[in-house]
Structure 1
Amino acid sequence: MTQPNQDRRSERARQAIIEAALDLCREQGLARTTIEEIAKRAGVGKQTIYRWWPSKAAVVEDGVNEMAGTATDFPNTGDLLADLRTQMLGVASILASPRFAPYLSLIGAAQDDPDLASSFLDGLVKPRVGAARERLRAAQEQGQLRADADLDDVVELLYGPIYYRALLRTRPPSADQVDEILRLAFAGLTT
């Protein structure tokens, strides 16, 4: 008789936990979601969750990172505006999607939890900001972007308006917004 594959069983449990956490977060927000509810919905014990994650926020963070996948990766076609538009459309689409509501919940929860803020920045934000900065640095080297432009400021200039809409719910982030941000920003950023 063949023994069950423990790795596969663990991966199934891990995915069930992440899906349960994300679903509960979408339904009732991160603040009202509990480890007990996640465990019950996933069909696992609480100890299984705590074996892999220190908190419910950490579960949601892993799930959001997996969902985002390559949607926020930066292309490098040599055309900075086209590459930024492609990547920013991915970000706007994610932030406008109810599926990614847990991401916005994490941002809110991070405001009062320094450990979550640090983990969130290190795991989700900094890698993506670093990729944006590298793409902008390549554009500077190619003469597509002013050499004296502070790349961190450029990242904030480009992405701040998208996050503003998503977090304050003034209007949904959109393709039209991305196009307008790029038009406005590059009138003053091009060489």
Structure 2
Amino acid sequence: MNSVVIVSDSHGLTNELLEIKERHDPTYFIHCGDSELHPDSKELGGYIKVGGNCDFDPQFPDDQIVQVGDLTFYVTHGHLYNVKMNLMKLAYRAEEVQANVVCFGHSHVAGAEKIDQQLFINPGSIRMPRNRPDKTYAIVTWNTKEDISVTFYNTNGEVVEDMTYHTEL
């Protein structure tokens, strides 16, 4: 089974990023930006990472494309695509790079939804969540494109039950 841990908008937190890495053993870790840490910090070690609007080091890329098993992940923060307005610009970009799964942050609003044949995942924020009290991150797991699950966790490692999402691509 493939799995990817997705974190975003940690805004300077360090212990939480280390705890998440110790707690899980996925195929990959992804950080969708606004870590406010140095790209080479130990806390971001092992994460595929992008820069957000609060990350000023030019070593952070604006986006990354990662192949994990049979899925292509597009990772960006979201501020360059106006994700607080809607996902249209982000969807166009994800289609251009032929991504199956789109990981982004910026809004601090956790959620997962399928639009056409793409799965959009915003893990929320592990520091300053919006629209709910839980400080969250997400884990996407799959064996095949026909059986994909997104599970949200709080910073204590507990499943946020009402946010679990299942789909097929």
- Greater share of residues in strand: 2
Q: TM-score, normalised by structure 2?
A: 0.28
Q: TM-score, normalised by structure 1?
A: 0.26
- Greater share of residues in helix: 1
Larger Rg: 1
